[in-house]
């Protein structure tokens, strides 16, 4: 009889543990139409500006509405609120194997914060 009660309560205990974990929010970025296959690297000189959409998504703007959208493989905490990042590369391109660092404002200066990996670069045409 005791074993039966434990077995009946076990699924409830597991469900309670799962429900307490914070849900990871999905990326929220403006609509964009994919215009080609994902790329591992992009030429740095072709990215005129960047727009940080949220803690998961960066658009590397080429010209007009043309961009490469990079959806990070995991959340980069503080990226959107800092609205800036830095990277180091000895190449003339930025690749999905590169690491970016959130730039935190501390006092009157900037400090490298969280380190985050990049994802693939998907060519898109932005809707906005």
Position 5 in a domain: no
Position 7 in a domain: no
How many Cβ atoms from other residues are within 10 Å of residue 85's Cβ? 20
Q: 88: domain range?
A: 32-126
Position 22 in a domain: no
- Give the Cα separation of 67 and 124 in Å (integer): 5
What's the pLDDT band for 89 if we cut at 50, 70, 90? confident
Q: How many domains, in total, are found in the chain?
A: 1
pTM of the model: 0.76
Position 10 in a domain: no
Q: Which pLDDT value is given to residue 26? A: 57
- Give the Cα separation of 9 and 17 in Å (integer): 13
Task: Give tens-digit pLDDT for 41-82.
Answer: 999 999 999 999 999 999 999 998 999 999 999 999 999 999
In the block, tokens 């803690």 appear at 55
Position 26 in a domain: no
Position 12 in a domain: no
Position 27 in a domain: no
Q: Which pLDDT value is given to residue 3? A: 38
């Amino acid at each position: 009889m005791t074993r039966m009660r434990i077995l009946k309560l076990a699924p409830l205990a597991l469900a309670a543990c799962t429900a307490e974990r914070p849900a990871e929010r999905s990326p929220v970025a403006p609509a964009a139409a994919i215009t080609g296959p994902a790329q591992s690297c992009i030429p740095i000189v072709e990215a005129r500006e960047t727009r940080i959409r949220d803690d998961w998504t960066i658009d590397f703007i080429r010209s007009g509405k043309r961009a490469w959208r990079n959806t990070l493989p995991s959340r980069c905490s503080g990226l959107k609120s800092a609205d800036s990042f830095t990277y180091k590369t000895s190449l003339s391109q930025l690749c999905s194997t590169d690491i970016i660092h959130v730039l935190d404002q501390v006092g009157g200066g900037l400090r490298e914060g969280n380190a985050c990996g990049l994802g693939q670069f998907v060519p898109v045409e932005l809707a906005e």
